[in-house]
C-alpha cells in the first residue's frame, strides 16, 4: 500500500513539494544491512524517491544511446545527489541520523555494484517493482526515472512493500537488449540480480559499443522500449 504524502510530517511533504518530487515514500529496512554512519551504525529506514528523465529523450534511444541521453543521465544524477545531500542535512538538523546514497556510484568494480541497491529501498517504499530490464518500474512514471535514497533513523510511516511484478508476459526489454544480458525472469523479493541480469555482459557491451557516452555507463535501450514508459509519452502527447 502506498502511503499518501499527507501521512508524513508536514515539513517533509512540503520539502518534497518544493522540489516537485511526486514519487516518493519511506521504506522499512530493519531486516537489511545498510551502509553505516561515522559511528558504525546502520539505519532502520530510508526515504526513497524518483526523479523523472525527459520522456522524449528516453523514447529516442530505443536503438541505442545518444548525446542528449548521456547529458540527461548526468543532469538527473547530479540533481539526485544535490537533493540527497540537502535532505540528509535537513534530517540531521532535526536531531536524527541520516546518510545519503550516491546516484549510480559503483563501489564494487568486481561485482558491479554500489553500496546498497536504490531499487531495494524503492520497492520497500511501495514506489514500484523491478522489471525484467532490472530497472525500477512504477505505474506512475514507468522506468523512465532515476532513484534517490537517504537512510535515516527518523521514524516514518513506511509503505507496504511491492512484492510482485506487473510486467505480465511482456518481454520487450529482453528482446531489445543488444548484449543479450537480460534473462527474462520475473522479479520477486529475494531473487538474485544474477537471475535477472548478466551484469558483466551488460557492462562489457556498453564499454565496447557506447564508451563515448560517459565512458560506457550508458545504454538505456531496455528502459526506452518499456510499454509503461511509452504510455507516459503518449499521455504527454495527448495533452492539449
The DSSP output letter for 2 is P
Q: Would you write out the chain's pLDDT as a tens digit for each of its 240 residues?
A: 556 666 899 999 999 999 999 999 999 999 999 999 999 999 999 999 999 999 999 999 999 999 999 999 999 999 999 999 999 999 999 999 999 999 988 888 878 888 999 999 999 999 999 999 999 999 999 999 999 999 999 999 999 999 999 999 999 999 999 999 999 999 999 999 999 999 999 999 999 999 999 999 999 999 999 999 999 877 665 554
CA distances in angstroms from 61 to 70, 96, 150, 177, 218, listed in the order given: 10, 42, 30, 12, 11
The whole-number pLDDT of residue 2 equals 55
Q: Which of 130, 209, 222 is nearest to 176 (CA)?
A: 222
The whole-number pLDDT of residue 6 equals 65
Domain boundaries, the chain: 5-233
CB atoms inside a 10 Å sphere around CB 12: 19
Q: Which residue shows C-alpha cell 511533504?
A: 13
Q: Which of 51, 196, 50, 53 is nearest to 126 (CA)?
A: 50
The whole-number pLDDT of residue 127 equals 97
**Residues paired with residue 192 on neighbouring β-strands, in sequence order:** none
The whole-number pLDDT of residue 7 equals 85
The whole-number pLDDT of residue 239 equals 55
Q: Compute the distance between CA of residue 204 and CA of residue 160 in angstroms, rounded to an integer.
A: 36
Question: Residues 47, 9: contact at Cβ < 8 Å?
Answer: no
CA distances in angstroms from 1 to 70, 126, 127, 141, 199, listed in the order given: 34, 7, 9, 17, 31
pTM of the model: 0.93
Question: Residues 222, 176: contact at Cβ < 8 Å?
Answer: yes
The whole-number pLDDT of residue 3 equals 67
Question: Residues 98, 45: contact at Cβ < 8 Å?
Answer: no
Contacts of 181 (CB under 8 A, 6+ apart): 197, 198, 199, 201, 202, 205
Amino acid at each position: 500500500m502506498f502511503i499518501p504524502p499527507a501521512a508524513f510530517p508536514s515539513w517533509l511533504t512540503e520539502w518534497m513539494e518544493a522540489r516537485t518530487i511526486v514519487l516518493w515514500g519511506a521504506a522499512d529496512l530493519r531486516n537489511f544491512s545498510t551502509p553505516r554512519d561515522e559511528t558504525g551504525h546502520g539505519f532502520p529506514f530510508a526515504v526513497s524517491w524518483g526523479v523523472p528523465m525527459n520522456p522524449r529523450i528516453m523514447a529516442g534511444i530505443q536503438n541505442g544511446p545518444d548525446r542528449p541521453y548521456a547529458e540527461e543521465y548526468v543532469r538527473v544524477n547530479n540533481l539526485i545527489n544535490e537533493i540527497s545531500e540537502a535532505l540528509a542535512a535537513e534530517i540531521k538538523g532535526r536531531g536524527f541520523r541520516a546518510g545519503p546514497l550516491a546516484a549510480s556510484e559503483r563501489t564494487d568494480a568486481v561485482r558491479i555494484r554500489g553500496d546498497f541497491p536504490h531499487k531495494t529501498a524503492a520497492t520497500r517504499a511501495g514506489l514500484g517493482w523491478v522489471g525484467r530490464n532490472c530497472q525500477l518500474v512504477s505505474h506512475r512514471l514507468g522506468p523512465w526515472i532515476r532513484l534517490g535514497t537517504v537512510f535515516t533513523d527518523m521514524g516514518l510511516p513506511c509503505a507496504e512493500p511491492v512484492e510482485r511484478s506487473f510486467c505480465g508476459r511482456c518481454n520487450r526489454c529482453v528482446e531489445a537488449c543488444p548484449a543479450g544480458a537480460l534473462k527474462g525472469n520475473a522479479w520477486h523479493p529475494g531473487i538474485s540480480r544474477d537471475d535477472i541480469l548478466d551484469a558483466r555482459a551488460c557492462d562489457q557491451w556498453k564499454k565496447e559499443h557506447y564508451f563515448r557516452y560517459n565512458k560506457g555507463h550508458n545504454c538505456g535501450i531496455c528502459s526506452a522500449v518499456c510499454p509503461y514508459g511509452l504510455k507516459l509519452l503518449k499521455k504527454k502527447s495527448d495533452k492539449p
